[in-house]
Amino acid sequence: MIDIVIDITLLAFLAITSVAIVRMTNLFAIVMLFGIFSLLSAGLFVVMDAPDVAFTEAAVGAGISTVLMLATLALVKRPQKPYYGEAPQSHRAWLPLIVVAVTGSALVYGTWDIPGFGAPDAPAQSHVARYYIENTMQETGVPNIVTAVLASYRGFDTLGEVTVIFTAAVAVLLLIGGKRSKPAVKTNKKGEQDEA
Amino acid sequence: MEFFIGHYNYWIVIILMMVGLYTVISRGNLVKKIIGLNIFQVSVFFLYISLGTVKGGAAPIITEGVKVYSNPLPHVLILTAIVVGVATTALALALVVRIKESYGTIEEDEIHNLDHSL
C-alpha cells in the first residue's frame, strides 16, 4: 500500500516539475529543474523494483546530463533577455496545444486496454521473462538477472551500445573539439552579408 | 478506484510525453527543445518500467526465499536506452554550440531570419 502512495506522490511531483520546466524562461533554472526531474525519476525506479535502472538514471541522467547542459550554457553565453519563454512568431500558440491534446487523448484512449499496473498475469510477465528468472542462476551464476542479461545473454547488444556511444563521442569531438579557426567562423557570418 | 490506481502510471506517462512534445514544438530555444526531448524520453522509460512491475514482486536479483520478481527485461532495455540517450543528448548539445558559433544565437526564429528561410 505504502508503495502505491509513494508511487502516486512521486509521479505527481514529476508532472509538476515538467510543467514548471515548460513555463520557466531562465535556462539555468530549467537545467537545474531537469536535474531534479532526473533524480525524482531515479527514486521512482527504486519504487518500481528497478534498482539497476535507478543507479544508471541517478548517475547518468541526473549527473552527466546536467553537467553537459551546464557546460553548453556556459559555452553559449545566452543573452539575459527572458524572451525565449514566448513561442516564435511563426508558430500560433494554440496549434501546438491542439496537436498535443489530440495526441494525448488518443494515447489515453489506448490505455483502457492495458492490463492494470502490477498485474501478475499481464502478457509482458508470462512469456520470455519467466525463462530468465528461472534459469539465469544455473546458466550464468550471476544472481542479478539484469546484469546477467546485459553482459552475458545479450553481450553483443551491449557491444553495439558501446559502438553507439563511441560514434557519438567521435561526432562531438569533430563538432566542437580540436582547433577550429575562429576567424573562419566569423567571416562565414560576415561573408554572408558581404555577398548579399 | 482500482482502475484509477491501475492506470495512474500510464496517464502520468502520457502527461509527461505530451509536455515534452509541447516543449519541442512550441518553444524556440534550442536548449529548451533538447530538454523537452529528454522529458519525452524519460516518459518512455516510465512506460517500460511500469509495464514490467509485478505487484508484490522483488527487484530481479535472485535471493533465497523470494518467489515473485519484477520483469527484468524492460530494465535491461531501459538501462541501455538511458546510456544511449545521454550520448545523443551530448551530440545535440554539441550541435547547439556549433550553431551558436555560426549564427550567434540559439533562438529558432532568429536563425530562420538569418537564413531568410521563413
The domain ranges of chain B are 2-115
**With an 8 Å Cβ cutoff, are B31 and A27 in contact?**
yes
Does A1 have pLDDT greater than 90? no
- Residue B110 phi/psi, 5-degree rounding, is -65, -35
The answer to whether residue B117 neighbours chain A at the CB level (below 8 Å) is no
For chain A, what's the residue count? 196
Task: Please list, in sequence order, all residues whose beta carbon lies within 8 angstroms of the beta carbon of residue B85, skipping any fewer than 6 positions away.
Answer: A61, B38, B41
Last residue of a domain, one of A79, A96, A119: A79
Lowest pLDDT segment from A69-73, A100-104, B52-56: B52-56
Which residue among A79, A99, A117 closes a domain? A79
Candidates A65, A60, A62, A19; CA nearest to A38 is A62
Question: Does B74 sit within 8 Å of A38, measured CB to CB?
Answer: no
Q: How far is A96 from chain B, CA to nearest CA, in Å?
A: 6
Q: Chain-centre distance of CA A66, in angstroms?
A: 11
pLDDT tens by residue, A112-138: 888 888 888 888 888 888 888 888 888
Across residues B96-109, what is the average pLDDT? 86
Asked if the structure places residue A127 within a domain, the reply is: no
- Does A46 reside within a domain? yes
- Domain count along chain A: 2
Q: Which pLDDT belongs to residue A182?
A: 57
Q: Which residues contact A34 (CB under 8 A, 6 or more apart)?
A: A21, A65, A66, A69, B35, B38, B39
Looking at residue A19, its pLDDT comes to 92
Mean pLDDT along residues B84-106: 90
What is the structure's pLDDT at A113?
A: 84
The phi and psi torsions of B87 (rounded to 5 degrees) equal -60, -45
Percentage of the residues of chain B whose pLDDT score is greater than 70: 98
On whether ipTM exceeds 0.95, the answer is: no
pLDDT of A34 strictly over 80: yes
CB A175 within 8 A of CB B94: yes
pTM: 0.86
Q: Is position A118 within any domain? A: no
Chain A partners of B59 at a C-beta cutoff of 8 Å?
A: 49-51
Domain termination residue (choose one: A79, A101, A131): A79
Fold of domain B2-115:
Helix Hairpins (1.10.287)
**Scanning every residue of chain B, which has its alpha carbon at the shortest distance from the alpha carbon of A27?**
B32
pLDDT score of A63 more than 80: yes
Q: Which residues of A touch B101 (CB under 8 A)?
A: 185
Asked if A108 has any chain B CB less than 8 Å from its own CB, the reply is yes
Q: Does A53 touch chain B (CB under 8 A)?
A: yes
Write down the pLDDT at residue A192. Answer: 44
pLDDT of residue A190: 42
Interface residue B57 vs chain A (CB under 8 A): yes
- pLDDT at B89 > cutoff 90: yes
Asked if A6 is an interface residue toward chain B (Cβ–Cβ < 8 A), one would say: no
In a domain, A145, yes or no: yes
Number of neighbouring beta carbons within 10 Å of residue B63: 10
Distance from CA of A131 to the nearest CA of B (A): 11
Band of residue A191 on the pLDDT scale cut at 50, 70, 90: very low
Question: Distance between CA B101 and CA B104 in Å, rounded?
Answer: 6
B5 → closest Cβ in A4, A18, A44: A4
Confirm if B13 and A44 have CB atoms less than 8 A apart: no
Is a pLDDT exceeding 70 seen at residue B32?
Answer: yes
Task: Flag whether A101 is in a domain.
Answer: no
φ, ψ dihedrals at A144, nearest 5°: -85, 110
Alpha helices in B27-71 (DSSP H): 30-52
Query: Which residue in this structure is represented by grid cell 502520468?
Result: B12
- Enclosing domain of residue A36: 1-79
pLDDT value of residue A92? 62
